[in-house]
Amino acid sequence: MTKLTRVTRLWSAAEAKAKLSEIIAKALSEGPQYVTRHGKPTVVVVSAEQWSKLERRRSSVEVLTDPTYGVLDEGEAETLFARDRSPERPAPEL
One pLDDT digit (tens) per residue for the chain, 94 residues: 455 545 568 999 999 999 999 999 999 999 899 999 998 999 999 999 888 877 777 777 777 777 766 666 777 777 777 777 777 767 778 7
pTM across the whole model: 0.55
Report the SS3 class of residue 19.
Answer: coil
- CATH tag, 9-48: 3.40.1620.10
β-strand 33-37 against 9-12: which pairing, if any? parallel
CA-CA distances (angstroms) from residue 23 to 8, 13, 38, 52, 65? 12, 11, 19, 19, 39
